[in-house]
Amino acid sequence: MRVVAVYPGTFDPPTNGHADIIERASKLFDNVIVAVGKNSHKTPLLTVDERLEALTEISKPYKNVTVESFEGLLVDYAKDKGAKSIVRGLRAVADFDYEFQIAMVNRKLEPEVDSVFLMTRWEYSFLSSSVVREVALLDGDVSTMVPDPVLTILKQAVARRLKG
């Protein structure tokens, strides 16, 4: 039996921390689906297509990783994909409080899907998409915060936003 996991997020933009979790999850599961959530209540910097493109490039070294987008409840998506695990990255204790709540709600909605938490590597513990987005929008150097394929896409999205 193949063990499928979903690694969900908005990934706006994908960071080195996200790439780290993708790499490590690929070693733990037979198949990993990196799932870009579409949220109509947020105004992302990168389009869904840009995030899919960036994550596809990041995931190329891992033959067991695919990238998709989804809408609706994560547990419904996971169940439809045959996933038994939802992978979430943790940077600090503050992340755990939020992730614990979400994991318990997901378990209540779908008891057959478990949450698996991976601690990010120490060197990425300060990274979040919102911090990277803010630095990029203020013309700061984010080249050490995102994988190379993301940098070009991110620069184009910032230029588009600033033209506005």
| Residues assigned a catalytic role | 18, 42, 91, 129
Spatial contact of 157 and 50, defined as CB atoms under 8 Å apart: yes
Rounded Cα–Cα distance for residues 103 and 20 (Å): 21
Which tokens in the block code for residue 38?
């579409």
Rounded Cα–Cα distance for residues 155 and 145 (Å): 13
Q: How many helices (H) and strands (E) are present in the chain, helices listed first?
A: 6, 5
